[in-house]
Chains A and B, each alone.
Chain A
Amino acid sequence: MEKGMIKGFIAKRAAKEFKDGDFVNLGIGLPTMIPSYLPDDVHVILEAELGMAGAGTKPEINDFNVCDAGGSSSSVAVGGAFIDSATSFGLIRGGHVNATVLGALQVDEKGNLANWIIPGKMVPGMGGAMDLCAGAKKVIVTMEHTQKGAPKILKECTLPLTTQTCVTKIITEMCVIDVTPEGLELVEINPEFTVEQVQAATEATLIVKGEPKSMVD
């Protein structure tokens, strides 16, 4: 797959995870592309951890008191509400958020997630990621399958964790993996790849029950 196509491909598949009315939090980057791939009859309510239950799109006229978590100008959606930080994370931690979608540096076969720190290199802080992963009902990781050819789906994360045993699903340009109590199950595959190729790009051993479905319509 061409490099430039990967993010859109993953976002399009991730869009199938939502049903109308789901309350979801989308991480920065790729996950923010997901709403544009939702079918016309599916509308999600966006949780913005800075303070909205129902965030809207970028406004034509900026209001400096309505921002997204990146500090950029945002708006509240029709039917949305402003909330303070304690309420925002209460909604997140309390299991009121159906799903959070975010990128990862590493994921392992127990569903452990590392995406906030590379010791000695990058120390941005965890922001709201730890609460989101500990609290959302579904934690969906969307990422490229490997980092310059090196596996990111490991037997055990080597980087400090964001949250332990939180990931429920991994969507990459190669496949869709469900995190199960037995381990990582390959449930869908991009027909451009074989199961052997996916396994070769994955350090953790994938569970394959029969022929995986195609992740392309």
Chain B
Amino acid sequence: MAKITSITEAAALIKDGMTVMVGGFLGCGGPDKLMHALALSGVKDLTVICNDGGLPGGRLLGVQELIHNGQVKHLIATHIGMNKEVGQMMNEGTMKVTLVPQGSLAEKIRAGGYGLGGVLTPTGLGTPVGVGAEDASGTGTKEAITIDGKEYLLERPIRADVACIYGSVADKYGNVKIHGTARNFNTVMAAAADTVICQADEVVEMIDPDEVLIQGVLVDYIVGGKN
């Protein structure tokens, strides 16, 4: 059974130097309140794995706030173009950025969560993130493997200390239901971290098992979005 906790207690689970996966895609389906609590906690030297570096200007949302505060030492993402600050920090050397193709990032996380030794994909071959490039898992450089005459890139599994995910509805058993395109990376991340915290808009007694998207056995803590 997942523990329903306060946002401050949940944020305190994340310590300096940890690797944190964060669900969401340009703010859609991101645990924004949890990220704001992390910003307030002052935790630093984080390695953050998420789809992107946030949206341009305006209100600091989600991971963007942590990046802005200098709390992220290494960002592993697929797209950083919308938030100019990320490019600046990358060029100035104040934050390391590792770019991963979006489908490959999803599969690396899935491999990390589901016990696979990696995935073989054609994506990235012949590009700057192909053979010889540093693997985002930090375990070495990428290599090509030929299967039945076709060349593939080996993308190694990736895991995190903590995954911060979003749910539209969670139940006290930890089951999560997600509406719309908010599911994005949340589903795979829920399986690929030692500790999983879900920020849910609504917490209910029990979700219909037919509608569960993320199984309760994967989720450790639930934070009600209104707390």
**Contact yes or no, A84 B183, CB < 8 A:** yes
Known contacts A67-B25, A123-B90, then 15 further A-B pairs from the complex at CB < 8 Å, ordered by chain A residue: A66-B179, A82-B181, A84-B106, A85-B105, A85-B184, A86-B106, A86-B107, A117-B128, A123-B87, A124-B79, A124-B81, A130-B101, A130-B127, A134-B121, A161-B127
In the complex, chain B residues whose CB is within 8 Å of the CB of A88: 103, 106
State A163–B152 Cα separation when bound (angstroms).
13
Q: Closest 10 CB pairs between A and B?
A: A124-B81, A89-B103, A71-B26, A164-B126, A131-B103, A51-B181, A65-B180, A125-B79, A66-B180, A127-B79
Asked whether A162 is an interface residue with its Cβ less than 8 Å from the other chain, the reply is yes
In the complex, chain A residues whose CB is within 8 Å of the CB of B158: none
**Contact yes or no, B127 A162, CB < 8 A:** yes
**Contact yes or no, A65 B187, CB < 8 A:** no
Write the chain B residue with the least CB distance to A117: B128
Of the four ranges (under 10, 10 to 19, 20 to 34, 35 or more), the interface on chain B belongs to: 35 or more
Write the chain A residue with the least CB distance to B121: A93
Q: How far is the CB of B98 from chain A (nearest CB, A)?
A: 10
Interface positions, chain B 38-93, Cβ under 8 Å from A, are 51-52, 55, 77-82, 87, 90
Q: Residue B79 contacts which of A74, A122, A126, A163 (CB distance < 8 angstroms)? A: A126
1/0 contact string of A92-124 vs chain B (CB within 8 Å): 110000000000000000001000010000111
**Contact yes or no, A125 B127, CB < 8 A:** no
**Contact yes or no, A112 B126, CB < 8 A:** yes
Q: How far is the CB of B190 from chain A (nearest CB, A)?
A: 10
**Contact yes or no, A50 B181, CB < 8 A:** yes
Write the chain B residue with the least CB distance to A90: B103
State A112–B129 Cα separation when bound (angstroms).
15
In the complex, chain B residues whose CB is within 8 Å of the CB of A124: 79-82, 87
Write the chain B residue with the least CB distance to A64: B28
Interface positions, chain A 133-164, Cβ under 8 Å from B, are 134-135, 160-164
**Contact yes or no, A50 B90, CB < 8 A:** no
In the complex, chain A residues whose CB is within 8 Å of the CB of B99: 123, 125-126
**Contact yes or no, B101 A126, CB < 8 A:** yes
**Contact yes or no, A128 B103, CB < 8 A:** yes
In the complex, chain A residues whose CB is within 8 Å of the CB of B183: 51, 82-85
Write the chain A residue with the least CB distance to B28: A67
In the complex, chain A residues whose CB is within 8 Å of the CB of B124: 130, 134
Asked whether B212 is an interface residue with its Cβ less than 8 Å from the other chain, the reply is no
State A85–B29 Cα separation when bound (angstroms).
12
Interface positions, chain B 167-201, Cβ under 8 Å from A, are 168, 178-188
Asked whether A188 is an interface residue with its Cβ less than 8 Å from the other chain, the reply is no
Of the four ranges (under 10, 10 to 19, 20 to 34, 35 or more), the interface on chain A belongs to: 35 or more
In the complex, chain A residues whose CB is within 8 Å of the CB of B79: 124-127
State A160–B99 Cα separation when bound (angstroms).
14
Interface positions, chain A 50-79, Cβ under 8 Å from B, are 50-52, 63-67, 69-71, 74, 76
State A162–B122 Cα separation when bound (angstroms).
12
In the complex, chain B residues whose CB is within 8 Å of the CB of A64: 28
Asked whether B207 is an interface residue with its Cβ less than 8 Å from the other chain, the reply is no
Asked whether A176 is an interface residue with its Cβ less than 8 Å from the other chain, the reply is no
Asked whether B27 is an interface residue with its Cβ less than 8 Å from the other chain, the reply is yes
Asked whether B104 is an interface residue with its Cβ less than 8 Å from the other chain, the reply is yes
In the complex, chain A residues whose CB is within 8 Å of the CB of B106: 84-86, 88-89
State A88–B48 Cα separation when bound (angstroms).
22
Q: Residue B181 contacts which of A66, A122, A123, A127 (CB distance < 8 angstroms)? A: A66
In the complex, chain A residues whose CB is within 8 Å of the CB of B180: 51, 63, 65-67, 76, 82
B125, B128, B184, B185 — most chain A CB neighbours (10 Å) = B184
**Contact yes or no, B187 A126, CB < 8 A:** no
In the complex, chain B residues whose CB is within 8 Å of the CB of A129: 101
Q: Residue A160 contacts which of B125, B128, B187 (CB distance < 8 angstroms)? A: B128
Interface positions, chain B 86-138, Cβ under 8 Å from A, are 87, 90, 99, 101-107, 109-110, 121-129
Q: Residue B101 contacts which of A86, A90, A128, A164 (CB distance < 8 angstroms)? A: A128
